[in-house]
């Protein structure tokens, strides 16, 4: 196999439609912290690290950490069960897995959070490495997550990052990787174009078609 051999997938907005659970949990967190979420564009927080998102609204480290803890407790109880696979996601992973690609996640969800979601949705077995953020701040952005995943691979050649937000594109660029932009995810119009991904995909099927055709 030439070309790409290892595929790193963002999770939210790329493999799973997690918007309902994230938005509901954000709303709960802001209300509990005394902030009215009605005037906040919560869609901008679909994907980026929690601490980065909450720091836009709380001006102390203590308040940010309190918001993160509230969010994580509520998400574990309710939000994570509001996720569904994007159409064609399972077929995408199955075909790549069967064809011999190494599949990994590279998400800003902590590993302990994303793993049960992958298991609940039936796609955990496809991934050689479940790469995610840490609960603390030691691995708390997409660049750090990608580097952590790369450190666990036998080779860094032929690696492609697939994601739907600017954090995915920036992380890939910072790690010297090509990226594919998933336009069916949560990016705002024009968000990904400045990063010049190798391709755009409007569906999981188009992600699969590009990866196969690149080889």
- Residue 60's pLDDT is 97
CA distance 3 to 199: 14
Counted residue by residue, the chain has a size of: 215
Mean pLDDT of the chain: 95
Residue 1 reports pLDDT greater than 50: no
Please give the angle made by the CA atoms of 144, 145 and 146, to the nearest 5 degrees.
Answer: 95
Please give the angle made by the CA atoms of 99, 104 and 106, to the nearest 5 degrees.
Answer: 145
Residue 177 reports pLDDT greater than 80: yes
Which CATH number does 6-18+83-213 carry? 3.40.50.1000
User: H helices of 58-165, where?
Assistant: 61-77, 89-98, 111-120, 142-151
- Residue 65's pLDDT is 96
pLDDT over 90 percentage in the chain: 92
Q: What is the pLDDT of residues 37-94, one digit of tens each?
A: 999 999 999 988 899 999 999 999 999 999 999 999 999 999 999 999 999 999 999 9
Q: Domain residue spans in the chain?
A: 6-18+83-213, 19-82
CATH 1.10.150.20 applies to domain 19-82:
no
């Amino acid at each position: 196999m030439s070309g790409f051999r290892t595929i790193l997938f963002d999770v939210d907005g790329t493999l799973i439609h997690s918007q309902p659970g994230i938005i509901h949990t954000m709303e709960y967190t802001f209300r509990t912290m005394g902030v009215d979420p009605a005037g906040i564009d919560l869609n901008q927080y679909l994907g980026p690290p929690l601490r980065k998102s909450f720091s836009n609204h709380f001006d102390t480290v203590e308040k940010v950490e309190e918001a993160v803890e509230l969010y994580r407790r509520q998400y574990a109880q309710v939000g994570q069960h509001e996720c569904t696979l994007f159409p064609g996601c399972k077929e995408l992973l199955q075909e790549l897995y069967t064809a011999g690609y190494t599949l990994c996640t590279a998400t800003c969800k902590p590993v302990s959070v994303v793993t049960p979601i992958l298991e609940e949705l039936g796609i955990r077995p496809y991934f050689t490495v479940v790469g995610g953020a840490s609960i603390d701040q030691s691995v708390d952005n997409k660049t750090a997550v990608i580097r952590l995943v790369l450190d666990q691979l036998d080779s860094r050649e032929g690696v492609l990052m697939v994601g739907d937000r600017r954090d995915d594109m920036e992380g890939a660029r910072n790690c010297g990787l090509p990226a594919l932009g998933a336009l069916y995810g949560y990016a705002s119009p024009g968000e990904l174009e400045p990063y010049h991904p190798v391709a755009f995909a409007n569906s999981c099927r188009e992600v699969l078609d590009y990866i196969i055709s690149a080889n």
